[in-house]
Structure 1
Amino acid sequence: MNLNTQKEDFSYAYIYAVSSSIGYSLQTATRRLDDSGIDATITVPGKINSKRLPRFDIQIKSTSQDILKNESIKYRLTAKNYDELRENDPFIPQLLVVVLIPKNANDWLSQTEDSLCLKRCAYWLSLRGRPPLEEQTTITIEIPRQNICAS
């Protein structure tokens, strides 16, 4: 398996672990949806306010680049992905999730008889309502470090 595929698989495993630890359900997208920028859907059991079984779509990115800054992470996103996520009124809310992974695959996890530790973490951001890009092919997204995906 090539390293990019490993990173993608590890990112899904990370999101599965976080989602299941808080009782949420994660369904990965079919290839058709992935082509639209949807990698997975997270469903929350029960209600939030008046919404029964609320859900949101996520686009998952992973990187081992050093993008962690004091207050945020800065991730370069393609114009295509940005446009898919910035829709003002999507049918299902959409989030960008960026999973930070150590450079060396041997450092991605550690395991003992008592624990399994997945290394680094993920951050989320809604791009809903952001302005369109003017002829740019990429944009650097700043995600506050407080937006950590955690249980």
Structure 2
Amino acid sequence: MQLKCTYQTAPRPPGPTFAFTLDNDHLVKLARTPVSVHKILVVMLVPRTQEEWLRASHDRLELRHCCYWINLAGHPVTGRRRTTVRIPTTRIFDDRALCEIMTRVGAGGRP
């Protein structure tokens, strides 16, 4: 799993996908096929200032806003140094999504 973080002006992307740009070296690692170990990209969208999305105290660590995931296996490199990928806003990365991903991969499927 590759975890990235980026900021947006709105806490929720306005459409069915949002753009995220990766260095081609990272994309090649995530897009390699066939694979013996599946990889996914998880992107957390946060506000510009850390105070708006992260709060830490003695009894909790609170992360606000949302993570989204995508399986980039087979995704082509299209830029010279960086490639923009579209991440579906329906793929929220939470405990349920992680369990479903693990179940599919455990049964021999793709994330």
**TM-score normalised per structure 1:** 0.53
Q: Is the 8 A contact 1:102 1:119 kept in 2?
A: no
Partner of 2:82: 138
Partner of 1:108: 53
CA distance in 2, matches of 1:105, 1:83: 30
Structure 1 residues 138 and 150, CA, compared in 2 at 3 Å: closer, same or farther? same
CA distance in 1, matches of 2:74, 2:19: 19
Matched, 1:127 2:66: no
Partner of 1:86: 31
CA distance in 2, matches of 1:85, 1:117: 29
Partner of 2:109: none
Partner of 1:63: 6
Number of equivalenced pairs:
92
Provide structure 2 residue ranges, at least 5 long, that are not aligned to the other structure.
96-111
Q: Give the share of equivalent positions with the same residue, in percent.
A: 27
Q: Is the 8 A contact 1:122 1:148 kept in 2?
A: yes
| Alignment-mate amino acid for residue 130 of structure 1 | H
* Partner SS for 1:94: coil
Q: Deviations over 1:49-88 (max 9, x none)?
A: xxxxxxxxx0111111348331112101111111111111
CA distance in 1, matches of 2:43, 2:26: 13
